[in-house]
Structure 1
Amino acid sequence: MAIVLRYVDSLDFVKERFIGIVHVKDTSSLTLRNAINEVLTSNKLSFSQIRGQGYDGASNMRGEFNGLKALILQENDTAFYVHCFAHQLQLVVVAVVKKYDGVSDFFEQISLVVNVVCASCKRKDLLREQARERVQKGLCSGDLETGRGLNQVTTLVRAGETRWGSHFNTLISLMKLFVDVLVVLDFVKEEGGSLANRQQASGILAYFKSYEFVFYLHTMYDILHLTGTLSKQLQRKDLDILEAASMVRGTMEALQSFRNIGFAIILPKICNLQNIGIDLVKQAPQLLEYMAALSPCDSFAQFDKSKLLKLGKLYKYDFDDSDMIDLEGQLGIFYHSCIKDERFTSLKGISDLSRLMVSTGKHRDRKCRKMFSKLKLLKTDLRNKIGDEFLNDALLCNVETEALTKVEDEKVMERFEKMYAQRGQI
């Protein structure tokens, strides 16, 4: 289990640190809860200090009654759970696709196309050769242009069930190679190694000629183009939470516009998919809505004292009754003092606001997804027997490079020399 902590330092900078990996005997919520408790305790921390938690969509993690989220909330009811926006978006897309039989059948056919065309090296080579000849003819006739990154050798992209951004890449590759895919399918239809293969190719070719295929291909391309862009933006490390909420709203508006006029561009009839667009994105949680009321953008245009007071009530261990009384007055003074202060007029987010409050002394009144790629890099086939402790140390060195730059080489060598006798001086 990988553990990452996000916290605010003494200068009100938001920091995120990979703490390490912990070996667990099973993935039950109780086992994971105990493992996290041991890590926190060893670092002189406790559950009472947690103000937020986030996991993937597995029931053992976010279950309402017996999940890890629920166990931690039993000990600290202000450790609010916020589901990863990007992962939540993936789940919504999957749920919507399964709800509409036509869309579900469409992606099953697309998956079958990839399986048939890429089933053997011979078919892959035929696909590449057809694409190469088509590009060469296009360059000779002037229909295609040369340049850096243009006309690259490619193949059909296989979609991943839990990564719906990959489905958009699959559709892009199919649209680029559509003519070449038809050649390969014709080849399999005539010379496939078995009757089943020939029937599959024949069925796909018939589906490609249907009204339904063309409709779903263009419709899902436009919808996944929007949601895929949102998914990538939500995974940015430097993304401000208010900016994320703004992107969600913007995507919802774009999907609503697509519902209203987009289908008319593709086909004259909306058919049975007219409700798919707006269901793809959910509203930001109430917690984030309250936070947005503190945004300094546009001279605190979204400032709302009532929402900020509701936010304070959620964190009852940080704001008792007397604090809430003080907070109501402090917020009024804070707002009127900041909008008159030129230093606060060009801020872009809450992080900028918090840092400026520290530098100006206003904070004295009231303080207002890297790890797995490194694991894949380190845990190679040659290191399958790597021990937990060594793997944990290697990951820390790779992930927390910024912190390690402050460690002097002489200190490291001195520590190694003291560990055990060396054959020679380091």
Structure 2
Amino acid sequence: MAIVLRYVDSLDFVKERFIGIVHVKDTSSLTLRNAINEVLTSNKLSFSQIRGQGYDGASNMRGEFNGLKALILQENDTAFYVHCFAHQLQPVVVAVVKKYDGVSDFFEQISLVVNVVCASCKRKDLLREQARERVQKGLCSGDLETGRGLNQVTTLVRAGETRWGSHFNTLISLMKLFVDVLVVLDFVKEEGGSLANRQQASGILAYFKSYEFVFYLHTMYDILHLTGTLSKQLQRKDLDILEAASMVRGTMEALQSFRNIGFAIILPKICNLQNIGIDLVKQAPQLLEYMAALSPCDSFAQFDKSKLLKLGKLYKYDFDDSDMIDLEGQLGIFYHSCIKDERFTSLKGISDLSRLMVSTGKHRFYPLVYKLLKLTVILPVVTASVERCFSKLKLLKTDLRNKIGDEFLNDALLCNVETEALTKVEDEKVMERFEKMYAQRGQI
């Protein structure tokens, strides 16, 4: 199990730091809870300091009664849970695709195309050769331009079952190589090694000529383009929960606009179209509603002191009765001082607001407002940082390291993941510490 902490540094920049991996005997929620407690304790932390927790949608993590989320909430009821926004997006796209038979059949055909075209080295070579000849003709005729990054050698991209963003890459590669793919399919149709191969190629070519294929190709390209853009933005480490919610709303509005007018642009003659859209599950709507009142956008247009006071009451361990009285006074003065200050009129989000408060010194004059801001920006949005750690683990756990212990593996992974933090460590100090650990045979 990989553990990442999200916090705010002294300059009010949001940081996500990998603190280690833990070997667990099973993935039951109680085992995971005890493992996390040991890691926190070893780093002089505790569950009482947690103000947010984020996981994917597995039942052992987000279960209402016995999940890891519930066990931690029993220890600290202000450790608010956020279902990873990126993981929410994935099942939504999958559910939409499976709901419509035509779309589901379309992606099955696309997968079959990749299997047939990339089934052998001979077919791959033929695909690359056709693409090379096409590019040469385009350059000679002036239809294509030369330049850095242009006309690169490429092939059909195989989509992954658990990452629907990869399906968008598959569609892009197919659209770029469509003419070349037709040549390979014609070759398989005429000279395939078996009757089944020839029939597959013949069936794909017939499907490519259908109205249905062209329609779904352009439709799903535009839909996955929008959801893919959202997915990439959600991977940012400094993303706060209000900005993420705003991106989700923007994507839903863009998809609604595509539903209304996009199909008419693709195929003007289509009148009756299937209804394809997206509706992300809303998590902690009350919490988000209260936090939105802190947004500095449009000169604090959403500022609402009553909602912010309700937000403070949710964090009962951070604001006692006396603090709530002071917070009410600070909020009123803070609002009027900021709307008159030109430095605060063009901010784009609460992260910008919290950093500007630190740089201008306002965090010292309004400490309780600043505390509300910090509690808002440290809420987890996605679990991308944890998944990046597992990606690094695959690179480190090689055949040559297949017998290393958990402690050494953890240290190696920590050095590989947190390269930014380790750049500040001087080599001389590392050697001095190593020399003091135990007697060495010789001077380093």
Alignment TM-score, normalising by the size of structure 1 = 0.91
Higher mean C-alpha deviation, range 68-77 or range 209-218: 68-77
Residue aligning to 2:102: 102
What is the 5 A alignment of 1:171-210?
A: 171-210=171-210
The CA deviation string for residues 74-113 of structure 1, in whole angstroms up to 9 with x for no partner, is: 2222211112222221221111111112111111111111
Distance 1:63 1:246, change over 3 A: same
The CA deviation string for residues 238-279 of structure 1, in whole angstroms up to 9 with x for no partner, is: 334333333222222211111111101122466775431243
Higher mean C-alpha deviation, range 369-378 or range 32-41: 369-378
RMSD: 2.4
Query: Do 1:109 and 1:204's aligned partners in 2 also have CA atoms closer than 8 Å?
Result: yes
- Cα deviation for residue 355 of structure 1 reads 3.5
Query: Do 1:248 and 1:283's aligned partners in 2 also have CA atoms closer than 8 Å?
Result: no
Residues 1:169 and 2:169 are matched in the alignment: yes
- Cα deviation for residue 285 of structure 1 reads 4.1
- Cα deviation for residue 405 of structure 1 reads 3.5
Distance 1:386 1:192, change over 3 A: farther
Query: Do 2:82 and 2:284's aligned partners in 1 also have CA atoms closer than 8 Å?
Result: no
Q: For residue 81 of structure 1, give the secondary structure of its aligned residue in structure 2.
A: strand
Query: Do 2:14 and 2:238's aligned partners in 1 also have CA atoms closer than 8 Å?
Result: no
Query: Do 1:294 and 1:303's aligned partners in 2 also have CA atoms closer than 8 Å?
Result: yes
Query: Do 2:15 and 2:237's aligned partners in 1 also have CA atoms closer than 8 Å?
Result: no
Query: Do 2:53 and 2:69's aligned partners in 1 also have CA atoms closer than 8 Å?
Result: yes
- Cα deviation for residue 9 of structure 1 reads 3.8
Higher mean C-alpha deviation, range 312-321 or range 300-309: 312-321
Distance 2:413 2:260 in 1: 49
Structure 1: gaps (5+ residues): none
Distance 1:400 1:390 in 2: 15
Higher mean C-alpha deviation, range 274-283 or range 89-98: 274-283
Q: For residue 271 of structure 1, give the secondary structure of its aligned residue in structure 2.
A: coil
Q: For residue 19 of structure 1, give the secondary structure of its aligned residue in structure 2.
A: strand
Query: Do 1:40 and 1:46's aligned partners in 2 also have CA atoms closer than 8 Å?
Result: yes
- Greater RCO (CA < 8 Å, at least 6 residues apart): 2
The CA deviation string for residues 282-327 of structure 1, in whole angstroms up to 9 with x for no partner, is: 6884423322211223322221223222322322222344443443
- Cα deviation for residue 359 of structure 1 reads 5.1
Q: For residue 5 of structure 2, give the secondary structure of its aligned residue in structure 1.
A: strand
Distance 1:148 1:274, change over 3 A: same
Structure 2: gaps (5+ residues): 365-386
The CA deviation string for residues 142-198 of structure 1, in whole angstroms up to 9 with x for no partner, is: 222222211111110001111111111100101111111112112222222222222
Query: Do 1:93 and 1:280's aligned partners in 2 also have CA atoms closer than 8 Å?
Result: no
Distance 2:191 2:118 in 1: 15
Distance 1:404 1:131, change over 3 A: closer
Distance 1:109 1:357 in 2: 55
Query: Do 1:8 and 1:14's aligned partners in 2 also have CA atoms closer than 8 Å?
Result: yes
- Cα deviation for residue 346 of structure 1 reads 4.1
Distance 2:280 2:125 in 1: 38
Higher mean C-alpha deviation, range 164-173 or range 296-305: 296-305
Higher mean C-alpha deviation, range 27-36 or range 414-423: 414-423
Query: Do 1:96 and 1:280's aligned partners in 2 also have CA atoms closer than 8 Å?
Result: no
Q: For residue 279 of structure 2, give the secondary structure of its aligned residue in structure 1.
A: helix
Q: Percent identity?
A: 99
Distance 2:441 2:410 in 1: 27
Residue aligning to 1:321: 321
